[in-house]
Amino acid sequence: MENLAVQDLSILLVEPSSTQRKIIINELSDEGVSTIEGVGSAREAYSQLQTFQPDLLISAMYLPDATAAELVELLQRDPKTADIPVMVVSSEQNYENLEAVRQSKIVALLPKPFSQLDLHRALVATLEYINPDELELDLYDAESLRVLIVDDSRMARRHLGRVLQQIGISDIAEASDGVEAVKIIEQQGFDLILTDYNMPNMDGEGLINYVRNESELSHVPILMVTSEENETRLSSIKQAGVSALCDKPFEMTQVKGLLASLLDG
């Protein structure tokens, strides 16, 4: 597929306020985007998607009939809409309320009010997701890398897996928590582990402790992809031996840079 530019993007905007829809459409137009459809609810968005397949869906955090996270989950259930990138616009400041949408498959979380620079960066992040370059490494062939993704969210695992596949990594195993990951690690080797922090049974920190102290993969880089903001917990994770931390939602360029650093470093 030919690489898209910002002005080539087609966008479905889901915003309940007609005034806010006009403002955001105008700001998207200022970025050169001309193909924009606007609706006011999750139900309208899903109906529109049956005939209009956008390159990007932009949604407000709260809709009359759903939250953005619930809309993303709905899209994931339908093969026709599962791979549409989603950007969420929100003025929400509460960590717990933001957690659900950060854990879902979104390419960017845009603060409200946002600047034109914020919008431009989010659109560029979307393009990097749609048009990824393959990961180039000095010490590894990306196609031969063995990667384990550990996350209790099936949606998050699928999203991470798709990101890895887009940059040329195809040998991917999955686990839903640390306990399942340990069983898999006991059976096979990996070149890289990507894990979430908050998981049942055994969290990301527990998994890191196991890998570093009890497994034969103590040397393997561990990238934690998390929305965790508690400094005490983050400090504990670093002390446990995590190789790098990556925020949710993440940018493709950030992930590629971290992987190149971890694997070639």
Summarize pLDDT for 160-188 with one digit per residue, the tens.
888 888 888 999 999 999 999 999 999 99
Residue 155: partners with Cβ closer than 8 Å, 6 or more residues away: 72, 73, 76, 103, 104, 105
pLDDT of residue 265: 64
**Residue 147 DSSP code:** E
Domain with CATH 3.40.50.2300 in the chain: 6-130, 142-264
3-state DSSP assignment of residue 116: helix
Q: pLDDT by residue (tens digit) across 85-99?
A: 899 999 887 767 777
Q: Is the pLDDT of residue 1 over 50?
A: no
Highest mean pLDDT among 113-117, 232-236, 250-254: 113-117
Read off the tokens for 214: 């009890």
91: closest CA among 110, 72, 64, 70? Answer: 110
Distance CA 40, CA 182 (A): 45
Q: Is the pLDDT of residue 2 over 70?
A: no
The CATH class that applies to domain 142-264 reads alpha beta
Q: Is the pLDDT of residue 69 over 60?
A: yes
Assigned superfamily of 6-130: Response regulator (3.40.50.2300)
pLDDT of residue 178: 96
3-state DSSP assignment of residue 40: coil
Q: pLDDT by residue (tens digit) across 112-157?
A: 888 999 999 889 888 888 887 777 877 778 888 999 999 998 878 8
Q: Is the pLDDT of residue 100 over 50?
A: yes
